[in-house]
Structure 1
Amino acid sequence: MLFSQEELKDIVISVLIVAFIFCRALTNCLDISLYALFLVFVILSFLFHELAHRFVSQKLGCSAVYKMFLPGLLLGIVFAVLFRLIIVMPGAVVIYPFKFGRWKFKVSRLTVRDMGVISFAGIAVNLFFAILFRQFPGDIFYLFSTINAWLAFFNLIPIKPLDGSKIFLWKPYFWFILIVIAGVLLFLF
């Protein structure tokens, strides 16, 4: 199974709320069709981000599970509604250094590098989308690019359990390059 029922519930709730946060903060979100557009963008961005974590973690012999962070979602709603500011901390990927086999379970020794690489996979997806769609003219492409730049930027905050903390621990200079790229995409273009 790709996602457990609990993880799927966490992803659906997070996606619905994150789409509202972006819609409200960037456009005031007065039209349901506009919210639907944001919902499609967030689903694509969020899903590919999580699948990247999952793919890399499986290649390293472990499993990754998304866990919703309700206080972060509520904070995002409050800031979007009251101040039209974007705060996106919907949850984090928890990496389990084992996977269950037929007889028992296999323990994998995860290094700081492994954790950094798994965390970078999700960020790479968002930065790729942000850079790629910034190349096309039109508001819709710019909007999709901006959503991905925000997701990358917030995920790069070096506070546990966010991806940025694991990347910073692995290679601080690489973390710095990534956050500069996300910042440039957000604030200079």
Structure 2
Amino acid sequence: MVKFASYEVRDLFISMAVITLAFSIFFRNDYDGNFLFLIPATLIGVVPGFLFHELAHKFMAIKYGFDAEFKMYMPGLFLALASSFFGIILAAPGAVHINGDRMISDKENGKIAIVGPLTNIILAILFGVLAIILLVIGIIIDPNYDNFINSPLGYLGYIGVIGFLINSAMAAINMLPWGIFDGSKVFDWSKMIWGVIAAIAIVMAIIPIILMML
């Protein structure tokens, strides 16, 4: 049975709030810096991306018979906020801490770690598909792109783009093969699997940069 301690729920909500604010600051030039538009959009991208990422770790750990609880990491949250003012996001908001009656194997640890970034990759794809579908519908309704981007449909499309960017970034950052990142555990388990997933995450993260250069 999956249980959540009161402090675990608190840490999850605080972490989500801080990461949402950090990404809102990162995207602060969008919509003329209107946070009434930015915060809801980033919130929709962050909440499923962050929450499902951490829950995936927790559920997988429990599946292997371990106790697992999320604990926020205050220095990592401050780093996320501080870095967002400089046009980057360096986020290590916390982690799922695993305990049990036996030693965890590299394979188990790797599988527990990889489900987080995989969740973000899936969410990024879903957000990206949403953005493309809404863009196509918007162009069919009104070929004028400026009219589309300033319409409610365009804002929903913007949410799709933001969701794609946020979840792609989360996947790529978490697949770094060192320190506290998920990638270090996946790397220790299987370098081939790490290479495939890391490559997918990195490609998805740089797609927007490539598109902006075209």
TM-score by length of 2: 0.77
Contact 2:27–2:38 (CA under 8 A) maintained in structure 1: no
1: distance between equivalents of 2:34 and 2:80?
18
5 Å matches for 1:98-137? 98=100, 107-136=101-130, 137=132
Partner of 1:72: 76
**Aligned equivalent of 1:102:** none
Query: The residue matched to 1:46 in structure 2 has which SS?
Result: helix
In terms of fraction of residues, the more helix-rich structure is 2
Instruction: Please identify, of 175-184 and 153-162, the stretch whose mean Cα deviation from structure 2 is larger.
Output: 153-162
- Tell me the distance in 2 between the aligned counterparts of 1:120 and 1:144: 20
For the aligned residue pairs, the C-alpha RMSD in angstroms reads 1.7
Per-residue CA distance 1:71-121 (angstroms, 9 max, x = gap) = 12111211212x12222211122111x2xxxxxxxx234210000001111
CA contact (8 A) 2:61 2:98 kept: yes
Gaps of 5+ in 1: 99-106
1:61, 1:108 within 8 Å by CA — same for their partners in 2? Answer: no
In 2, the alpha carbon distance for the partners of 1:8 and 1:76 equals 20
Determine the structure 2 residue equivalent to 1:40: 44
User: Retained in 1: the 8 A contact 2:28–2:35?
Assistant: no
Q: Distance in 2 between matches of 1:40 and 1:132?
A: 13
CA distance in structure 1 between the partners assigned to 2:119 and 2:84 by the alignment: 25
1:86 and 1:117 mapped to 2: Cα distance? Answer: 26
Alignment of 1:93 with 2:87, yes or no, is no
Which moved further from structure 2: 33-42 or 63-72? 33-42
Once the two structures are TM-superposed, the CA of residue 159 in structure 1 deviates from its matched residue by 2.4
- Look at both structures and tell me which one has the larger radius of gyration over its CA atoms: 2
What residue identity is the alignment partner of 1:91? G
Runs of at least 5 residues in structure 2 that lack an aligned partner in the other structure: 133-156, 209-214
Scaled by the length of structure 1, the TM-score of the pair is: 0.87
1:127 Cα deviation from its structure 2 partner? 0.8
2:52 is aligned with 1:57 = no
Distance in 2, matches of 1:95 and 1:172, equals: 22
